[in-house]
């Protein structure tokens, strides 16, 4: 079972998450983190819930978090300098931190652009980064991360928009959620100290799923198909079209899938 006490035992003093709010059930950890950020909580504040009753994904989609099966948490960051252009980079450091923690457990994870973490080409985690800007400066950035640890965290096929799995299914053994959270936070702490989008891009590109494969991307009422060749300077997706042209697609409202993906 998760508990505030158990989580505290896994988070070193002075590390990201030292200021911890744990609740057995919350509507959304991102919503709670936003309230705390607006009332002045310190940089690195962590909100964790065992269950979310109204967890949120990108573009108003829901995020399923039943009790006892997942990790659902949000970290409030107060970067010294960051601009709205860099929001994709904050999403990426969330996803890269999950990948690194999963690698420590022996699983090879990669990032489905822009915000999903895959194990064996199935979604195992999602990242929702939200920020409050004052002009060109971030008042705060919230990185919300949801991980399907047990198979019970994976929603039924009718509500899935992409094939999904769980960490325990892929590893074939049980995983301690508090330990996994502590490992993700340790990686996130390294990425967010002195965050620079230019420094994140190389690692993000190296971790991209489907690189060199033909992918289908939809968004803003349009669709594209081409070879995924990398990222642009702001984390845009670089697609090589059949006619040889290269296209940069911004992450907002875009959905990507490999053309060979089977039914959900």
Residues near ligand BTN (CB under 6 A): 28-30, 52, 55-58, 61, 63, 72-74, 115-116, 126-128, 144-146
CB of 7 to ligand BTN, least distance (A): 15
Query: What DSSP letter does each residue of 26-88 carry, written as one string?
Result: ES-HHHHHHHHHHTTPPTTEEEEEEEEEEEE-GGG-EEEE-TTTEEEEEEEE--SS--GGGHH
By C-beta, is 73 or 195 nearer to ligand BTN? 73
By C-beta, is 44 or 55 nearer to ligand BTN? 55
d(CA 40, CA 140): 10
CB of 213 to ligand BTN, least distance (A): 21
Q: Which residues contact 87 (CB under 8 A, 6 or more apart)?
A: 129, 131, 141
CB of 186 to ligand BTN, least distance (A): 18
d(CA 147, CA 186): 16
By C-beta, is 55 or 235 nearer to ligand BTN? 55
By C-beta, is 57 or 250 nearer to ligand BTN? 57
- Nearest residue to 218 (alpha-carbon basis) of 251, 264, 246, 263: 251
Residue nearest ligand BTN (C-beta atom): 126
CB of 21 to ligand BTN, least distance (A): 13
């Amino acid at each position: 079972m998760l508990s505030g006490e158990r989580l505290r035992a896994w988070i070193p003093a002075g590390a990201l998450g030292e200021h911890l709010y744990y609740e057995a059930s919350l509507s959304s950890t991102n919503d709670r983190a936003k309230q705390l950020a607006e009332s002045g909580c310190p940089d690195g504040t962590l909100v964790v819930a065992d269950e979310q009753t109204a967890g949120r994904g990108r573009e108003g989609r829901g995020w399923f978090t039943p009790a006892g099966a997942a990790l659902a948490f949000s970290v409030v960051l107060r970067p010294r300098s960051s601009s709205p252009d860099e929001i994709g980079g904050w999403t990426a450091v969330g996803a890269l931190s999950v990948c690194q923690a999963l690698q420590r457990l022996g699983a090879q994870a990669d990032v489905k652009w822009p915000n999903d973490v895959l194990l064996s080409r199935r979604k195992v985690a999602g990242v929702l980064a939200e920020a409050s800007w004052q002009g060109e400066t971030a008042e705060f950035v919230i990185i919300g991360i949801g991980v399907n640890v047990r198979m019970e965290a994976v929603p039924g096929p009718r509500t899935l928009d992409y094939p999904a799995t769980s960490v325990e299914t892929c590893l074939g053994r049980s995983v301690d959620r508090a330990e996994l959270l502590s490992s993700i936070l340790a990686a996130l702490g390294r990425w967010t100290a002195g965050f620079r989008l230019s420094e994140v891009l190389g690692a993000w590109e190296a971790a991209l799923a489907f690189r060199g494969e033909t992918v289908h991307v939809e968004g803003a009422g349009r669709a594209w198909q081409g070879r995924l060749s990398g990222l642009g300077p702001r984390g845009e997706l670089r697609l090589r079209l059949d006619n040889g042209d290269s296209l940069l697609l911004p992450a907002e409202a875009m959905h990507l899938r490999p053309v060979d993906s089977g039914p959900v």
